[in-house]
Amino acid sequence: GTWKVDLTQRAIPFSGEVTPLEVLADEADMARWKNDGLPADRTSIENAAIVTSCSRWPLLIDPQLQGVKWIKQKERDSLVTVQITRQKKWIQKVMEAMRNGDFLLIEGIGEEIDAILDPLLARAVVKKGRISLIKLAGEDVEFLPKFMLALQTKLSNPHYAPEVAAQCTVVNFTVTPEGLEEQILALIVNAEQPDLEHTKRELVRKQNEFKVALAQLEDALLVQLSNADPATILSNTELVEGLETTKNTATEIQEQVRPSTPQTVDRKIRNQTGTNTHNRHKRNTQTQPATTKSPNASDSHTYP
């Protein structure tokens, strides 16, 4: 891709198999996102990586509300939601979120964003001593570094002004065919094989939790290794215990995941669902009364 050409021109070393997704997120990140309700298809995961890494405010094209659902779960501890079209004093909520350093989600925007938000979208920050301020609705509002903003539209093909595109990172969360197939299959299985679908969901959740736990152990171990004195590293009891804990946890995870994976359950679901659908179609065909038509010119077709 063009990004590899750019890295080569800048003399930045990289491995041949690396992808932008692997640079922006690791397995533990992806596992957390899935547990927070993000669809598991590749496009959704790439979108999440962009939303969590972009330097501009993310603007989600999200007609099926999949991105909004994920963000609301992911940021549940500090989330403030605003619907400009429905709330009269929405600007006060925006200011309060800025002062508190919350995660602000503005839902249901149209193709034109209220001009009152321009200073916030442009990050027009003014320093007054150690305090960062943004002038909003004629008022200087403190802007905390941890404050985050995301915008969402239900429009499937919006056309935004160039300045909006320059101030925001537009991310298309429209459901993909792969994601739609997965969701339809889950609905069918919930109706026909609820126990099987529950088993799959639990396996996915546990597998994701294991990945997160293992990543945390590995990170802690790396910190211990970087801080360890090379002269006494072999006698460092805390470090040796950390190595042993990480090794045992990795073995435990492999043993728990091996007997039944989400993929094996998924194959079983698809096989059973396919068989049930075929049998139901066969029964419907057998119970339908035969119909006869009198032959006429319009019934006569020539096929190649």
Query: 211 in a domain, yes or no?
Result: yes
Residues 170 and 121 in one domain: yes
Residues 222 and 163 in one domain: no
- Contact status, residue 60 vs residue 153, Cβ threshold 8 Å: yes
Residues 23 and 58 in one domain: yes
Task: Name the residue type at position 301.
Answer: H
Residues 145 and 241 in one domain: no
Cα–Cα distance between 92 and 234 in angstroms, integer?
58
Residues 34 and 131 in one domain: yes
| Of the residues 148, 175, 202, the one at which a domain ends | 175
Band of the pLDDT at 95, cuts 50, 70, 90? very high
pLDDT beyond 60 at 298: no
- Contact status, residue 45 vs residue 28, Cβ threshold 8 Å: no
Q: Which helix (H) or strand (E) holds 67?
A: helix 66-74
Cα–Cα distance between 301 and 304 in angstroms, integer?
10
Cα–Cα distance between 43 and 173 in angstroms, integer?
8
What number of other Cβ atoms are within 10 A of residue 4's Cβ?
A: 14
Q: Write down the pLDDT at residue 90.
A: 92
Residues 137 and 228 in one domain: no
Query: 6 in a domain, yes or no?
Result: no
Query: 223 in a domain, yes or no?
Result: yes
pLDDT beyond 80 at 160: yes
Residues 22 and 166 in one domain: yes
Task: Name the residue type at position 135.
Answer: K
> Of 147, 109, 103, 105, whose CA–CA distance to 125 is shortest?
147
Q: In 3-state terms, what secondary structure has residue 109?
A: coil
- Contact status, residue 58 vs residue 151, Cβ threshold 8 Å: yes
Band of the pLDDT at 260, cuts 50, 70, 90? low
- For the chain, what is the domain count? 2
Range of the structural domain that residue 136 is part of? 17-175
Residues 205 and 114 in one domain: no
Residues 61 and 96 in one domain: yes
Residues 144 and 229 in one domain: no
Band of the pLDDT at 64, cuts 50, 70, 90? very high
Residues 29 and 167 in one domain: yes
Q: Which residues contact residue 108 at a Cβ distance below 8 angstroms, ignoring those fewer than 6 apart?
A: 83, 84, 85, 86, 152, 153, 154
Residue 51: CATH number of its domain:
3.40.50.300
Query: 32 in a domain, yes or no?
Result: yes
- Contact status, residue 197 vs residue 186, Cβ threshold 8 Å: yes
**pLDDT per residue over 215-240, tens digit each?**
777 787 788 788 877 777 777 888 78
Q: Of 81 and 301, which is predicted with more confidence?
A: 81
Q: Write down the pLDDT at residue 199.
A: 75
> Of 59, 40, 41, 62, whose CA–CA distance to 51 is shortest?
59
Query: 281 in a domain, yes or no?
Result: no
Most confident of the ranges 113-117, 182-186, 210-214, 244-248? 113-117
Residues 28 and 150 in one domain: yes
Query: 58 in a domain, yes or no?
Result: yes
Cα–Cα distance between 289 and 231 in angstroms, integer?
88
Query: 116 in a domain, yes or no?
Result: yes
Q: In 3-state terms, what secondary structure has residue 290?
A: coil
Angle of helix 66-74 relative to helix 27-35, nearest 10 degrees, comes to 100
pLDDT above 70: percentage of residues in the chain:
83
Cα–Cα distance between 280 and 273 in angstroms, integer?
10
Q: Provide the pairing of β-strand 103-107 with 79-83.
A: parallel
- Contact status, residue 162 vs residue 51, Cβ threshold 8 Å: no
Query: 10 in a domain, yes or no?
Result: no
8-state DSSP, 101? T
